Amino acid sequence: MIPSEIADSLQDWFEKNREPAFKIHSCSPLGGGSINQVYKINTGSGIFCLKFNQASRFPQMFETEARGLSLLRNAKEIRIPRVITVQTLERYSYILLEYIEAAPKQSCFMQNLGRSLAKLHGNRADLFGLDHDNYMGALPQSNAEHQTWISFFIEERIEIQVKLARDAGLLSSENQQSFQRLYKRLETFFPYEKPSLVHGDLWNGNVIVSETGNACLIDPAVYFGHREIDIAMTTLFGGFGGDFYKSYQEAFPMEQNWEERLEVYNLYPLLIHLNLFGTGYLGSILSVLKKF
């Protein structure tokens, strides 16, 4: 199931960095791998999570994922898998991560997650963006740095996706004009805050249970942004439940009327899904635009 090029690379890496008698005993596919192939591998050196893809398909995807995971892990506020190695080969690229063995979920799982995310968002920067680009799902994500959130949000998040959708025939010229009207309304829409370290793709599929029964975050699209964009993403595709939002608010209160801003933030992931999966997401996008 694992290509021989990857198996040989793993053996070579472990022989040079860990132990000479490295051997893969078994492997089994893990769920959730819609972009990459994901496996649990049992080896003589331990159990690991292996993600791989064709090297030419998503250049630098695993390198930027590793950098994002390291940023989150170094904040020391929430459980993040440790990166073992990242390799780009002739045909394939892969990332090897520590395998998180889930324990029974703690009864206060969502409360703890809310408090931990609030602490993570307390890690601040001077500029919105990041010193390197990465990916949001299967699409490249520009993190060019900006002084203001509104310029970053419009230019590096929404407008790039609008142009992609328009070029693909997924948005009409009238739809594009609706976005232009929205941009003008946003000048006083977002409350001022310093940039926070955000996960960037915080839907419930990227939250797993750790060995302590608390949350562990995976598959980030990290940058420094307005922290409410992480909160907005948690409301898509099922939501996180009232205990999560209550505990977050207690730890790091958001500005008044934060709930009303969430659907605007979520235009970004909805546009990503429009560009990846088609017009099934167009209705949700137009519903938000009609309000502006």
Nearest residue to 137 (alpha-carbon basis) of 279, 274, 283: 274
Q: What is the mean pLDDT of the chain?
A: 95
Residue written as token pair 């898998």: 81
The two three-digit tokens of residue 2, written as one number: 């694992």
243 as an active site residue: the answer is no
Helix (H) or strand (E) holding 217: strand 215-217
Q: What is the pLDDT of residue 89?
A: 97
pLDDT tens for the chain, 292 residues long, are: 899 999 999 999 998 887 777 888 999 999 766 789 999 999 988 999 999 999 999 999 999 999 999 999 999 999 999 999 999 999 999 999 999 999 999 999 999 999 999 999 999 999 999 999 999 999 999 999 999 999 999 999 999 999 999 999 999 999 999 999 999 999 889 999 999 999 999 999 999 999 999 999 999 999 999 999 999 999 998 889 999 999 999 999 999 999 999 999 999 999 999 999 999 999 999 999 999 8
Q: What is the pLDDT of residue 33?
A: 63
Q: Which class is domain 109-289? A: alpha beta
Cβ contact 141:99 at 8 Å: no
Spell out the domain ranges in the chain. Answer: 4-98, 109-289
**Who contacts 263 (Cβ-Cβ below 8 Å, separation ≥6)?**
232, 288, 291
Q: What is the pLDDT of residue 93?
A: 98
Q: What is the pLDDT of residue 12?
A: 92
**Who contacts 30 (Cβ-Cβ below 8 Å, separation ≥6)?**
38, 39, 40, 49
Domain 4-98 shares a fold with domain 109-289: no
**Who contacts 231 (Cβ-Cβ below 8 Å, separation ≥6)?**
245, 248, 254, 258, 262, 265
For residue 98, give the amino acid letter. Answer: E
Rounded to the nearest 10 degrees, the angle between the axes of helix 267-277 and helix 282-289 is 150
> What is the sign of the dihedral through the CA atoms of 131, 134, 136 and 141?
positive
Q: What is the pLDDT of residue 32?
A: 66
- CATH for the 4-98 domain, from 3.40.630.30, 3.30.200.20, 3.40.50.150, 3.40.1050.10: 3.30.200.20
Bridge partners of 87? Answer: 94
pLDDT digit string, tens, across residues 156-194: 999 999 999 999 999 999 999 999 999 999 988 999 999
- Catalytic residue of the set 201, 219, 230, 243: 201
Beta-carbon count within 10 A of 112 CB: 19
Q: What is the pLDDT of residue 44?
A: 86
Q: What is the pLDDT of residue 238?
A: 83
The two three-digit tokens of residue 3, written as one number: 């290509």
The two three-digit tokens of residue 130, written as one number: 């990041």
11-19: long-range contacts at Cβ-Cβ below 8 A with a sequence spacing of 24 or more?
A: 13/85, 13/87, 14/43, 14/45, 17/85, 18/45, 19/44, 19/45
